[in-house]
Amino acid sequence: MRFACVMMQKNETILLDPWIRYHADLVGHENLFIFDNGSTSRSVVRTLKQAQRSGVHVFWEYGSPRHHRERGPLIVDLIQRLDREDSFDFYFLLDCDEFLACQTDAGSSCRRQDLEGALQPFLGSDDVLTIQHKYWHNPCRKDFYALTTSSPKCFFAYAACGYLDHGYHQGRSRLGDRKTSTAIVYFEFHYKPYRPHRISSKQHLSGILQDFSRRSLLAYREKQGFCFHCAVDLLMGKYDYVHSFLTLEGLVEIPAMLLMFDRLGISYGALFEPMPPIPMALYLPLLRIRQGFMHRWDVVIDVLRRGLWSLRRLARGD
Q: What is the three-class DSSP state of 189? A: coil
Report the distance separating Cα 193 and Cα 188, nearest Å.
14
Taking only the tens of pLDDT, the chain with its 318 residues reads: 999 999 999 999 999 999 999 999 999 999 999 999 999 999 999 999 999 999 999 999 999 988 988 999 999 999 999 999 988 999 999 999 999 999 999 999 999 999 999 999 999 999 999 998 899 999 999 999 999 887 789 999 999 999 999 889 999 999 888 999 999 999 999 999 999 888 888 887 877 887 788 788 888 888 877 778 888 888 888 888 999 999 999 999 999 999 999 999 999 999 999 988 888 888 888 888 888 887 776 666 666 666 676 667 667 766
So what's the pLDDT on residue 212?
A: 83
The torsion angles phi and psi of 130, rounded to 5 degrees, stand at -115, 150
CA angle 17, 21, 24 (to 5 degrees): 135
Q: Is 108 exposed, middle or buried (0-12, 13-18, 19+ CB in 10 A)?
A: buried
Strands 184-188, 98-104: parallel, antiparallel or unpaired by DSSP? antiparallel
What's the Cα-to-Cα distance from 281 to each of 178, 242, 243, 249, 305, rounded to whole Å?
51, 13, 11, 19, 37
Q: Dihedral sign for Cα 222, 226, 229, 232, please.
A: negative
Asked if residue 120 lies in contact with residue 90, where contact means CB atoms within 8 angstroms, the answer is: no
So what's the pLDDT on residue 304?
A: 66
Q: Is 263 exposed, middle or buried (0-12, 13-18, 19+ CB in 10 A)?
A: exposed
What's the Cα-to-Cα distance from 59 to each of 7, 8, 39, 56, rounded to whole Å?
10, 9, 12, 10
So what's the pLDDT on residue 199?
A: 86
